[in-house]
Amino acid sequence: MRIDPIIRNLNESVAPGMKPNGAGEAAGTSFADQLASKFSEVNKLQNQAEQAMEDGTVNGASNIHETMIRLEEADLGLRMLTRFRDKAMDAYHEMMRMQF
């Protein structure tokens, strides 16, 4: 079975900014840039949740639902970031176990 038509169809269906770069092509954004962006997003969520808690404490619990939503978003972001870190560490340890 030839996979050339399958790959061609996949490449055509992928958005232009999402195509993987071949050898020698410059990357649009590096992995480190994307990772830093995600860290800042999680940090922003944590800060918003903390601010919502402070506002609820100082001004009274008038909008508890919004506060709880912000807390859950921050918790979910932190869990996903922790899971990503664990997967990255597992991959690193697996590579270190490889023998060349």
Q: Which residue has the higher pLDDT, 14 or 80?
A: 80
Residue extents of the structural domains in the chain: 29-97
So what's the pLDDT on residue 26?
Answer: 53
Band (17; pLDDT cuts 50, 70, 90): low
Q: How far is CA 91 from the centre of its chain?
A: 17
Mean pLDDT of 76-96: 93
Q: Is the pLDDT of residue 3 over 50?
A: no
Band (64; pLDDT cuts 50, 70, 90): confident
3-state secondary structure 11-76: HHHCCHHHCCCCCCCCCCCCHHHHHHHHHHHHHHHHHHHHHHHHHHHHHCCCCHHHHHHHHHHHHH
So what's the pLDDT on residue 35?
Answer: 86
Identity at 62, one-letter amino acid code: S
* DSSP secondary structure letter of residue 21: P
Assess contact for 46 and 81: CB atoms under 8 A: no
Band (10; pLDDT cuts 50, 70, 90): low
Assess contact for 74 and 51: CB atoms under 8 A: no
